[in-house]
Amino acid sequence: MSKVVVIGAGNVGATASQYIVDRQLADVVLIDIVEGLPQGKALDLLQAGSPSNHDCSIIGTNNYVDTKDADIVVMTAGIARKPGMSRDDLLKTNANIVQSSIKEAHKYSPNAIFVVVTNPLDVMTQLVLKTTKLPSQRVIGMAGVLDSARFETFIAMELKVSVKDVRAMVLGGHGDLMVPVTSLASVAGIPLLNLIDKDTLTKLIKRTQDGGAEIVSLLKTGSAFYAPGASVAFMVEALLRDQNRLMAASVCPNGEYGLKDLYIGLPCILGANGVKKIVELELADNEMADLKKSATAIKETVNKMNELLVAV
């Protein structure tokens, strides 16, 4: 069976691990710096195997030796946002966590695909690329799947339809400047713009952009983990089973959309070996302008991170 390493045994890492084993996708190694935490959660997940009808191996560890020869490494470790904290506020602390963790993981699994979840997402994904020096196709950020799922959920709630019939995609950075692509969204093949008025759509877009912050404000002592965990498992399945799924993810374009040398949420096809293709869609003029604005903000944050960190 394939092997997935999940760095960080917090809510996102543990929930992603649960979804991965429940779908029988891979054996999981859950690693964290806190002694006992990954071991306890791994044992709990292992004991859920009988009622959940899976027999995947799950081990918890504090030693990167146990992560050797992983097929996929999922980076979730980092501090979570607190009420009033922006994703960019996390920059220095999480950059140091990502840098040190990924160095160790890459040492033991040089052939793995890396999926990054730690915020600020697009910037941390670029840091993983810089740290590992892997081909960009093998370093991918998980954000578009989550943001798109939130947008689809809000559309389904508003129209009182099954979320299974809603198709929507959110591009750009994983933050306040994300770009819900309304021009191509649909419900059972019917263009969304035929089903919803402009004012309501504007409210749904705003709620999607604030989707993580809304949950943070409600929880008060944490951030979202069910939807992020499910989104990780969705990507892991596409990669391990070579499904060629078209989804939004943080990837590194080489001229697509007029962008290069940064990580940003774009439509891509995921399968064996990572990103097989970045798909160029015909966006509305305002959507393309918003995408470029989002890219500019990401570049500024990357520059800020590079000033804070020692050279990799």
Q: Do residue 171 and residue 94 come from a single domain? A: no
DSSP letter at 80? P
d(CA 237, CA 24): 10
Range of the domain at 236: 144-301
Q: Do residue 197 and residue 225 come from a single domain? A: yes
Give Cβ neighbours of residue 120 (< 8 Å, ≥ 6 apart). Answer: 87, 88, 90, 91, 94, 174, 175, 301
The predicted pLDDT at position 83 comes to: 63
Q: Looking at the domain assignment, is residue 99 inside a domain?
A: yes
Q: Do residue 169 and residue 290 come from a single domain? A: yes
d(CA 107, CA 127): 16
Q: Comparing C-alpha atoms, which of 156, 114, 153, 158 is closest to residue 133?
A: 114
DSSP letter at 279? P
Q: Do residue 155 and residue 297 come from a single domain? A: yes
Q: What is the number of alpha carbons within 13 Å of residue 4 lying toward its C-beta?
A: 30
pTM: 0.95
d(CA 118, CA 75): 6
Number of domains, the chain: 2
Q: Do residue 163 and residue 295 come from a single domain? A: yes
The predicted pLDDT at position 79 comes to: 84
Q: Given 81, 106, 174, 245, which residue is catalytic?
A: 174
CA distances from 187 to 160, 168, 194, 205, 207 (A): 11, 9, 10, 16, 19
Q: Do residue 150 and residue 203 come from a single domain? A: yes
Q: Do residue 79 and residue 181 come from a single domain? A: no
Q: Comparing C-alpha atoms, which of 284, 254, 78 is closest to residue 171?
A: 284
pLDDT tens, residue order, the chain (312 aa):
999 999 999 999 999 999 999 999 999 999 999 999 999 999 999 999 999 999 999 999 999 999 999 999 999 999 876 666 665 677 888 999 999 999 999 999 999 999 999 999 999 999 999 999 999 999 999 999 999 999 999 999 999 999 999 999 999 999 889 999 999 999 999 999 999 999 999 999 999 999 998 998 999 888 899 999 999 999 999 999 999 999 999 999 999 999 999 999 999 999 999 999 999 999 999 999 999 999 999 999 999 888 877 544
d(CA 176, CA 121): 12
- CATH number of the domain enclosing 239: 3.90.110.10
Active-site annotation holds for 106: no
Which SS3 state, helix, strand or coil, does residue 215 take?
A: helix
**Residue 111: Cβ-neighbour burial (10 angstroms; 0-12, 13-18, 19+):** exposed
Q: Which residues pair with 278 in a beta bridge?
A: 268
The predicted pLDDT at position 312 comes to: 44
Q: How many helices (H) and strands (E) does the chain have?
A: 10, 14
- CATH number of the domain enclosing 107: 3.40.50.720
